Chain A
Amino acid sequence: MAASNFPGRGFAPLPTGSRDLLPDACRRREQLLHTLVTTFDRWGYEPVQTPAVEYFDVLGRGLAPSERERCVRFIESGSGEVVSLRPDVTPQIARMVAQRGGHRVDEGKVLRLRYAADVIRIPRARHDHPEVHQLGVELVGDAHPTADAELLVMCHEALAAIGLDGAQFDVTHAGVGRALFAQAGLEPTDEDGLRAAIERKDAVAVEHMLTTLGVEKNLADTFKSICELYGPPEVVVRAREILPASTHRALHDLGQTLQAVASQAPACHARLSVDLGELRGFDYYTGMRLRVWAPKVPGPVVRGGRYDTLLRHYGHDCPASGFAIDLDQLDAACDQQVEQLRPHGVMVTVPREAEALRTPAQSQARALRDVGVRAWVQVVTDLDHAQRLADTMKIGEVCHLSPGQPATCSHYVRGALGWVRSKSERL
Chain B
Amino acid sequence: MGPAAESLTFALPKGRILKQALPVFERAGFGFAQALADIGRELQFQTPAGHRLLLVKPVDVATYVEYGIADIGIAGLDSLEEDPRDLYRPLDLKIGACRLAIAEPVDRPVQLRPGVSVRVATKYPRLAQQHYRARGIQPEIIKLFGSVELGPITGLSDQIVDLVESGETLRQNNLREVETILEVSSRLVVHPASLKLKREAIRSTIHAIATALGEQGPTGSP
By a CB distance below 8 angstroms, the chain B residues around A297 are: 68, 193
Residues of A within 8 A of B91 (CB): 203-204
Contact B88 A200 (CB under 8 A): yes
- Which of B92, B191, B195, B197 is within 8 Å of A230, CB to CB? B195
Q: Are B68 and A296 in contact (CB under 8 A)?
A: yes
Residues 158 to 206 of chain B near chain A (Cβ within 8 Å): 187, 190-193, 195-197, 199, 203
| Residues of A close to B195: CB separation below 8 A | 230
Q: Kindly identify which residue among B86, B92, B193 contacts A125, using a CB–CB cutoff of 8 Å.
A: B86
> Do A234 and B87 contact each other (CB < 8 Å), given the known contacts A127-B67, A273-B199, A293-B197?
no
Q: Contact check, B67 vs A201: say whether CB atoms are below 8 A apart.
A: no
Q: Are B89 and A127 in contact (CB under 8 A)?
A: no
Residues of A within 8 A of B88 (CB): 200-202
Which chain B residues lie closer than 8 Å to A230 at the CB level? 195, 199
Q: Are A298 and B193 also in contact (CB < 8 A) when A127-B67, A228-B219, A234-B222 are?
A: yes
B 82-117 to A, binary, CB cutoff 8 A, 1 in contact else 0: 000111111110000000000000000000000000
B219: chain A residues within 8 A (beta carbon): 228
The answer to whether B222 and A232 have CB atoms under 8 Å apart is yes
Scoring B90, B187, B193 by chain A CB atoms within 10 A of each residue's CB, the highest score goes to B193
A17 an interface residue at 8 Å Cβ cutoff? no
* CB of A9 within 8 Å of the partner chain: no
Q: Smallest CB-CB separation from B183: which chain A residue?
A: A208
Contact of A293 among B66, B89, B193, B222 (CB under 8 A): B193
Residue numbers in A under 8 Å from B2 (CB-CB): none
B221 within 8 A of A: yes
A166 and B221 alpha carbons, distance in the complex (Å): 20
Selected from A126, A201, A238, A295, the residue in CB contact (under 8 A) with B66 is A126
Knowing A234-B222, A297-B68, A298-B191 touch, does A201 contact B197 (C-beta < 8 A)? no
Q: Is B218 positioned at the interface, with any CB of A under 8 Å from its CB?
A: yes
Q: Using Cβ atoms and an 8 Å threshold, which residues of chain A touch B196? A: 168, 170, 273, 275, 293
Q: Interface residues of B, CB < 8 Å — how many?
A: 26
User: Chain A binding site: helix, strand, loop or mixed by DSSP?
Assistant: loop
Judge if A44 is at the interface, Cβ distance under 8 Å.
no
Q: Are B90 and A203 within 8 A (Cβ)?
A: yes
Complex Cα gap A273–B195 (Å): 11
**Whole-angstrom distance from the CB of A132 to the nearest CB of chain B?**
16
* Distance (whole angstroms) from the CB of A233 to the closest CB of chain B: 10
* Bound Cα distance A234, B88 (Å): 22
Do B89 and A166 touch (CB < 8 A)?
no
B96: min CB distance to chain A, Å: 14
Are A200 and B87 neighbours in the complex by a CB distance under 8 Å? yes
Q: A295: which of B86, B187, B197, B203 is its contact (CB, 8 Å)?
A: B197
Cα distance A4–B22 in the bound complex, in angstroms: 52
Tell me the bound Cα distance from A296 to B197 in angstroms.
10
Encode contact with A along B6-18: 1 for CB under 8 Å, 0 otherwise: 0000000000000
Whether a CB of chain B sits under 8 angstroms from the CB of A231 is yes
Chain A residue nearest to B90 in the complex (CB)? A201
Nearest Cβ distance between residue B127 and chain A, in whole angstroms?
A: 15
Query: Shortest CB–CB separation between residue A299 and chain B, in angstroms?
Result: 8
Given contacts A170-B196, A293-B197, A295-B197, whether A231 and B92 have CB atoms under 8 Å apart is no
In the complex, A262 has a CB within 8 A of chain B: no
* Cβ–Cβ contact A228 & B218, under 8 A: yes
- Cα A204 to Cα B183 with chains together (Å): 12
Neighbouring B residues of A354 by C-beta, 8 Å = none
The one of A127, A205, A293, A296 in contact with B192, judged by C-beta atoms closer than 8 angstroms, is: A293
**What residues of B have a CB within 8 angstroms of the CB of A228 in the complex?**
218-219
In the complex the two chains form, is A125's CB within 8 Å of B68's CB?
A: no
CB of B197, distance to nearest CB on chain A (Å): 5
Separation of A230 and B91 alpha carbons in the complex (Å): 16
Most chain B beta-carbon neighbours within 10 Å: one of A200, A203, A234:
A200
How far, in angstroms, from A238 to B221 measured CA to CA in the complex? 11
Q: What residues of A have a CB within 8 angstroms of the CB of B191 in the complex?
A: 298
Q: Which chain A residue has the least Cβ–Cβ distance from B68?
A: A298
Please give, as numbers and ranges, the residues of chain B lying within 8 Å of A213 by CB-CB distance. none
A residues near B63, Cβ cutoff 8 Å = 126
Q: A125-B66, A127-B67 are in contact. Are A201 and B222 (CB under 8 A)?
A: no
Whether A127 lies near B199 (C-beta < 8 A) is no
Residue of A nearest to B195 (CB): A230
Residue of A nearest to B193 (CB): A293
Chain A residues contacting B193 (CB-CB under 8 Å) are 293-295, 297-300
- A235 proximal to B (CB < 8 A): yes
> Residue-by-residue, is B34-51 near A (CB-CB < 8 Å gives 1, otherwise 0)?
000000000000000000
- What's the minimum C-beta distance from B218 to chain A, rounded to whole angstroms? 5
CB distance from A222 to the nearest CB of B (A): 15
Contact A166/B197 with A201-B90, A203-B90, A293-B192 known, Cβ cut-off 8 Å? yes
A340 to chain B, nearest CB (A): 24
Contacts A/B (CB < 8 Å), 19 sampled: A125-B66, A125-B86, A126-B63, A126-B66, A127-B67, A202-B89, A202-B187, A227-B90, A228-B219, A230-B199, A231-B203, A231-B221, A234-B222, A293-B192, A295-B193, A296-B68, A297-B193, A298-B193, A299-B193
- List residues of B whose CB falls within 8 A of some A CB: 63, 66-68, 85-92, 187, 190-193, 195-197, 199, 203, 218-219, 221-222
Q: A202-B187, A228-B219 are in contact. List 16 more A-B contacts (CB 8 A).
A: A166-B197, A200-B88, A200-B89, A201-B88, A202-B89, A227-B90, A228-B218, A230-B199, A231-B222, A235-B222, A275-B196, A293-B192, A293-B193, A294-B193, A295-B197, A297-B193
Closest 3 CB pairs of A and B: A298-B68, A202-B89, A293-B193
